[in-house]
Amino acid sequence: MKTSSSKTALFPPLQPYRSGMLPVDQLHALYWEECGNPEGVPVLFLHGGPGGGITPSHRQFFDPAYYRIVLFDQRGAGKSTPPGEVRNNTTPLLIADIEAIRRMLGIEQWLVFGGSWGATLALAYGQAHPQCCLGFVLRGIFLCTQAEIDWFMYGMRTFFPQEHDAFIADIPPSERGDLLRAYQARLFGDDGEVAARAARNWSRYEGSCLFLQPQPETIEACSDDAIAIGIGRLEAHYFLHGGFIEEDQLIRDLDRIRHLPAVIVQGRYDAVCPPVSAWRLHQAWPQARLHIIADAGHAALEPGTAAALVAATEQFRVQQCFD
């Protein structure tokens, strides 16, 4: 499916046939929705961030006549409540949430689809519950290693110096040696106005680096407080704790899912999650099929990436990708 537009690569827009809120503890309730064919093959969409939330376009990577499409907002993200909440918010708890949704919906196994942090969570979930997974479609690989976290905080300046200077503008020079701690002090401090500004700066920084070609509307959307609070607070929270996984755990534990089919889609010019992580994952998991998109950055909706993701779900559907 080779097209010049991400919109023409996707399936047509569709609406959920049911949705709801699932309380998972005394603090958090998760928004979830189902689309497509209620009797179809289940597929789980895991959004990025952490804190990014789902959007209507995320439903469109899957043939709605074939797939039972399940999407949800992770703790503190999107329509889940409370927004931007970091208490009781860890990777093991997100994995438990996925299982709670699977059991609630009566699903035995599903295809797991995730990009960026969603790919991180897909791997962590699959390694914890391989018996529940049919396979994986993974984009923009982030293994949540310290080197990748450091790249986000400092290395992206190599390609986006102006955007990085804006990111650190509110941080005094004396604190710039540890930007993550500097942001922690502001995002989680007592001054709500300072915290909101820090969240906007963080979210805008990431939004400015997502695409190969600048997308002003995306940058502007990332500055919206409703989006920024989830992105800024939750990404910083997870970075501060190494994603609540051990260093290189996702590579170390690949044997738990090595037998399952997988496709990796990676933008050649992804500055947020550089291709070296996708290459490391593929080298450790050669059974997974790797597609490097020559004219793409990090975003899922860049034309080549969107087409490759749809092709992956279609290939899984016709059982040709995993022969």
Catalytically active residues, by annotation: 116, 270, 298
**Encoding tokens for residue 232?**
């800024």
Whole-number Å distance between alpha carbons of 312 and 314: 5
Whole-number Å distance between alpha carbons of 263 and 26: 37
CA dihedral 288, 268, 50, 129 (to 10 degrees): 0
Whole-number Å distance between alpha carbons of 169 and 146: 24
Of 89, 96, 106, give the one whose Cα is nearest residue 234.
89
Whole-number Å distance between alpha carbons of 125 and 100: 12
Which residues contact residue 240 at a Cβ distance below 8 angstroms, ignoring those fewer than 6 apart? Answer: 180, 184
**Encoding tokens for residue 160?**
């986006």
DSSP per-residue string spanning 174-236: GGGGGHHHHHHHHHTSS-HHHHHHHHHHHHHHHHHTS-SS--HHHHHHHTSHHHHHHHHHHHH
Q: What is the three-class DSSP state of 31?
A: strand
